[in-house]
Amino acid sequence: MYLHNQVIQGLRDRKRAALARAVTLVEDGSEHAQHILEEAYRLKGRSKIIGITGSPGVGKSTLVDSLIEAIRERGDSVGVIAVDPSSPFTGGAILGDRVRVRSRTTDDGVFFRSLASRGYLGGLSRNTGDVITLFDAFGFDYVLVETVGTGQSEVDIMRYAHSVLVVMAPGLGDDIQAIKAGILEIGDVFCVNKADRPDADRDVAVLEAMLGLNKDWQWRPPVVKTVASQGKGVPELLDKIDEHLGFLKQGNLLEERVSRSYLAALEANLRRQTVEHVLSKSRSDGSLDCALKQLSEGKTYPAALARQLVEKYLCSGV
Amino acid sequence: MYLHNQVIQGLRDRKRAALARAVTLVEDGSEHAQHILEEAYRLKGRSKIIGITGSPGVGKSTLVDSLIEAIRERGDSVGVIAVDPSSPFTGGAILGDRVRVRSRTTDDGVFFRSLASRGYLGGLSRNTGDVITLFDAFGFDYVLVETVGTGQSEVDIMRYAHSVLVVMAPGLGDDIQAIKAGILEIGDVFCVNKADRPDADRDVAVLEAMLGLNKDWQWRPPVVKTVASQGKGVPELLDKIDEHLGFLKQGNLLEERVSRSYLAALEANLRRQTVEHVLSKSRSDGSLDCALKQLSEGKTYPAALARQLVEKYLCSGV
């Protein structure tokens, strides 16, 4: 029996080891991955997929842990995907992974996995959609996708979520304004964590004011105060997330979110494959070196060169 | 006389207003941009391009300000490009911009500009290389490119730099380990800012240990302690940056970095143009909707679909 058949059977039987194996095979781009993904995209569609983002120091990990508690208290199962930066030196993500997993190995209703960034070209966005689909296919009630920061790739990853939770915290210094600004547009629910800190109410007010600038919300994102370390406000936060999912279903907007996630996954794969195609073609026939030489000699500029290469290697498809 | 000719003349005459105008035209993708870029890529090659990254709260802005001081004290000129997240609501980046510019309008040797993220698809990485080239063409001695966070796009932006400075600070909580891990591999010089805090020496030790794990450095990245708010350690930091640039020149490695930046710029443009090409083609002939429908019905998976579209719309170029 082929490895991928064993893994697929394991996924159907909701074996955690099979899920872990599947994620690794997909992350490594193994030839087994395609068979597993084919099946996963057939099985998917059961999970509520929640994207959770916010800058370092807001207490995301603690909040995720207490969200897990709240979800488990309702008797629902939850899978957690943490998209971390990692390093060839330390494999930082994996470390974080172990720590978190160890704290919950006793609970079969929770599964935690960290995804490492794989180098430059679309590294982060490349497999995330596939891994989320593996979790969905496994059939968790909730899948939490946690990312650090407000980089483009984090924003891209949020496109895979049905609901996006943006976490903030008081007293992170000047940068918080920019961070708020950067992710205001992607949040469905906002959380001001560490709400026992002095500036919490001011931050909530600023946030409400910023959200108030947009007059034509279909769904006005609520702002919830939490103290994750004590679990305060977390059940209410989970309620708001469920409310948003309910809103999406009522308005038949869930399909929109889902097809947004398909488009995101397609784009992520296209970005990688088209660029690889053009780069490898132009490498093999020497036109890439020639192109870089032209750039270094100031004979042209990147956008024009890209246009030339696109015209050369992309045909009308007719 | 065409607008772009005026701007080009202004760039040659080192008029700051012309540079500001040029950046805006390039950011907006105006039809004047291509003429300006053609000229800019001819004029470029005078500036030392320094990438500066680190998570929010490490005091990057303050450090950049004191680096500006140190550079100016040597009589050199400096252009600063801050790549910020921004928002349709607040235009946060522009705000930050004004504040910083106002504090220095009296000094002709300094020019500051914020770049806003422009939506999802490669928004950040799209124009950054071109804007850096405009600054280079203007002829600043140093161009500082500042990004927040450790997202994929921030990493991409660092590929445009000759030297990459990674800024950290003690006491940012659990996340700092992950952040260190994420950007260890891209730093040429490391800076532990807010070094008057208790945990500074421990963080320096951890960092040195992590860097020590790699045995075959051509250039072992130095770690410099700074207290940017008091300018402490900043001249030494600038010396280390210059040392690295000297190392690159000696080993004829600068060309490598420069051609790395050309490749990054080409890839950024290819990512956008190839995906746009394939998406627009497949939209217009209905195969995109069909593809998304297949995904929603679980009949295929994104990587396979992307491959189909690539095969359909990308030809051999023969």
Burial class, A89, CB count within 10 angstroms (exposed 0-12 / middle 13-18 / buried 19+):
middle
Helix axes A254-284, B287-296, angle to 10 degrees: 120
Task: Look at A152 and B150 and tell me if their CB atoms are within 8 Å.
Answer: no
Query: What is the DSSP secondary structure assignment for residue B281, as one 8-state letter?
Result: H
**Looking at residue A215, what is its pLDDT?**
80
At A66 the three-state DSSP class reads: helix
Query: What is the DSSP secondary structure assignment for residue A233, as one 8-state letter?
Result: T
Please list the ranges in chain A whose pLDDT falls under 50. Answer: 85-99, 101-102, 118-125, 174-175, 317-318
- From B74, B54, B69, select the one nearest B230 (Cα to Cα): B69
Which CATH topology does A44-251 take?
Answer: Rossmann fold (3.40.50)
CA–CA gap between residue B283 and residue A129 (Å, rounded) = 22
| Amino acid at the residue B159 | R
- For the record, the structure tokens of B67 come out as 């680096």
Distance separating the N- and C-terminal Cα atoms of chain B? 42
| Residues of chain B with C-beta less than 8 angstroms from the C-beta of A40 | 301
| Residues of chain B with C-beta less than 8 angstroms from the C-beta of A314 | 274, 277-278, 313-315
**Looking at residue A240, what is its pLDDT?**
98
Task: Look at B301 and A172 and tell me if their CB atoms are within 8 Å.
Answer: no
**Looking at residue B191, what is its pLDDT?**
94
The rounded mean pLDDT for chain B is: 82
At B122 the three-state DSSP class reads: coil
Task: Look at B176 and A56 and tell me if their CB atoms are within 8 Å.
Answer: yes
Q: How far is the CA of A226 from the CAs of A145, A165, A266, in angstroms? A: 19, 13, 36
**Looking at residue B182, what is its pLDDT?**
58
| Residues of chain A with C-beta less than 8 angstroms from the C-beta of B259 | 292, 296
A154 touches chain B (CB under 8 A): yes
Question: What are A137-172's pLDDT values in tens digits?
Answer: 999 999 999 886 555 556 777 889 999 999 888 876
Q: How far is the CA of B30 from the CAs of A136, B105, B118, in angstroms? A: 43, 27, 15
For tokens 């980089």, name the residue: A151
A window 6-65, beta carbon within 8 A of B: 34, 37-38, 40-45, 55-57, 59-61
* A141 in Cβ contact with A76 (< 8 Å): yes
Please list the ranges in chain B whose pLDDT falls under 70. Answer: 1, 56, 84-106, 116-126, 148-155, 172-183, 315-318
**Looking at residue A234, what is its pLDDT?**
97
A244 touches chain B (CB under 8 A): no
Among all residues of chain B, which has the CA nearest to that of A303?
A: B269
* B291 in Cβ contact with B282 (< 8 Å): yes
- From A288, A50, A302, select the one nearest A191 (Cα to Cα): A50
**Looking at residue B317, what is its pLDDT?**
46
CA–CA gap between residue B76 and residue B109 (Å, rounded) = 7
CA–CA gap between residue A92 and residue A86 (Å, rounded) = 5
Of A151, A176, A262, which is closest to B149 when you measure between CB atoms? A151
**Looking at residue B309, what is its pLDDT?**
87
**Looking at residue B239, what is its pLDDT?**
98
3-state helix, strand, coil in chain A (%, to 5): 55, 15, 30
- Show me where the domains of chain A are located: 1-42, 44-251, 263-315
Contacts of A121 (CB under 8 A, 6+ apart): A272, A275, A276, B267
Listing from the earlier edge strand, what are the strands of the sheet with A110-116?
A: A110-116, A78-84, A142-148, A48-54, A163-168, A189-192, A223-225
**Looking at residue A308, what is its pLDDT?**
87
At A43 the three-state DSSP class reads: helix
